[in-house]
Amino acid sequence: MYVGIDISKLWLDVAFRPSGETARFENTPSGIETLLERLRTDELKLVVVESTGGYEREVALKLGVEGVPLAVVNPRHVRDFAKALGKLAKTDKIDAAVIAHFAEAVGPQPQDPKSEDMLELQELVSRRKQLSQMLVSEQTRLHQARAKKVRTDVEETIKFLKKRLKNTETDIQDRLKKSEFWKEDMNLLTSVPGIGPVATMSIISSLPELGKLNRKQISALVGVAPLCRDSGNYHGKRTTWGGRANVRTALFMATLSAARFNPVIRRFYERLLAAGKAPMVALIACMRKLLTILNAILKTRTSWNLLPEQSVS
């Protein structure tokens, strides 16, 4: 049995394959428990939900605790699948049926269950990002403001946002240090020149697969692996696409620093420039190399200074 769940603020619309049966449950603790009773069967193969910006977290947590095989997928992938099937209409019931069909036909890999600690960490990191974006917006408004009262108001808002940002970062650091496993991960990652606290927060919260996959798999997951664009006699330029944007952004900023202060990344960057590569192309290649190094560090549980030379060369 394959199950697709379309999640909204109030409802869980569920479709079952191959039976084609559908059902609706309230998106409440009691509604989720009723759904779990329906899923407690040996016939269950996979449950798929879309990443909906937060509404799926409680369902994912409860299903994970019960050991239900669950995959949280990108909504774009499901929508593209629906278009390929010619299903252009969109309702909650139709969406649930499409997700269930996607689960059966594509069979995405079930994810490791997330704990409440991990979900809380992810929310804190997400909140930090929101505060940073609001701070940048207010700083832009300060440059544009001319009226004295407006400037004063914006300056007070900036002061408030800076304080909230600092407090949130402290909360994240405290959360990471309370867990011995996360604390060790944080120490291993920050041992690499160029990887600071901000990059570490994003990587630990948004890339739990780091250290568990090979270098090609982790590069594709983040979105820094070059993709082919060939057809017949045409051979297009390799480009990067997709992946986890928040991790990629943090990794890009870390690479800018590593290209200056990390001797391995700096030599690699300079060698690519000398070979005629464009600066941005060289930086993307450095991002991929830095990610490979981080993956090796967590896989071997070895800090930067003790990592074998062949792993970083």
C-alpha to C-alpha distances, 54 to 15, 62, 252, nearest whole angstrom: 21, 14, 25
| Partners of residue 11 on adjacent β-strands | 26
Q: Which of 196, 211, 208, 180 is nearest to 307 (CA)?
A: 211
Instruction: Give the end of a domain, one of 80, 106, 132.
Output: 106
How far is Cα 61 from Cα 47, in angstroms, rounded to an integer? 13
Do residues 56 and 120 share a domain? no
CA 144 to chain centre: 34
Q: Which of 163, 160, 169 is nearest to 121 (CA)?
A: 169
Same domain assignment for residues 195 and 286: yes
Q: Given the DSSP bridges, would you call strands 2-7 and 46-50 parallel, antiparallel or unpaired?
A: parallel
| CA nearest to 175, candidates 132, 122, 129 | 122
The structure tokens listed for 147 are: 């009226």
| pLDDT computed for residue 65 by the predictor | 82
2 φ, ψ (degrees, to nearest 5): -115, 140
The last residue of a domain, from among 72, 106, 140? 106
> 95 and 124: one domain?
no
Mark whether 213 and 136 lie in a shared domain.
no
92 and 31 in a common domain: yes
Average pLDDT per run of 10 along the chain, which is 313 residues long?
A: 93 94 93 92 92 80 87 91 91 94 93 80 91 96 93 96 96 88 92 93 91 91 81 74 85 95 95 95 94 94 78 57
The token pair that represents 85 in the structure block: 């099937």
3-state SS assignment for residue 188: helix
Do 251 and 160 lie in one domain? The reply is no
Residue 313: what pLDDT? 57
Do the Cβ atoms of 173 and 197 come closer than 8 Å?
yes
pTM: 0.76
In a domain, residue 183? The reply is: no
Distance CA 258, CA 283 (A): 10
Total domains in the fold of the chain: 3
In what side-by-side order are the strands of the sheet with 46-50?
22-26, 11-17, 2-7, 46-50, 70-73
Are 43 and 141 in the same domain?
no
User: What is the token pair recorded at 120?
Assistant: 């809380």
Residue 6 φ then ψ, to 5° = -95, 120
Q: What is the CATH number of the domain that holds 93?
A: 3.30.420.40
Do 201 and 155 share a structural domain? no
CB 296 within 8 Å of CB 186: no
Looking at the structure, do residues 304 and 205 belong to the same domain, yes or no? yes
In a domain, 111, yes or no: no
What tokens were used for 79? 């929508």
Q: Is residue 303 part of a domain?
A: yes
Domain boundary among 130, 158, 178: 178
Q: pLDDT value at position 311?
A: 56
pLDDT at 101: 96
For 207, which DSSP code?
-
Q: Let me know whether 102 and 211 are in one domain.
A: no
Helix (H, G, I), strand (E, B) or coil at 251: helix
Strand partners, 14: 5, 23
Which 8-state DSSP code applies to residue 115?
P
Both structure tokens of 264? 């391995």
- CA distances to 2, 35, 150, 183, 218 from 208, rounded to whole Å, are 25, 27, 44, 14, 11
- Residue pair 290/251 in contact by the 8 Å Cβ criterion: yes
Assess whether 137 and 40 both reside in one domain: no
Q: Give the domain extent around 129.
A: 116-178
Interacting residues of 231 by C-beta distance below 8 A, sequence separation 6+: none
Helix (H, G, I), strand (E, B) or coil at 19: coil
Q: Tell me, yes or no, whether 171 and 271 share the same domain.
A: no
What is d(CA 54, CA 58) in angstroms, rounded to the nearest whole number? 8
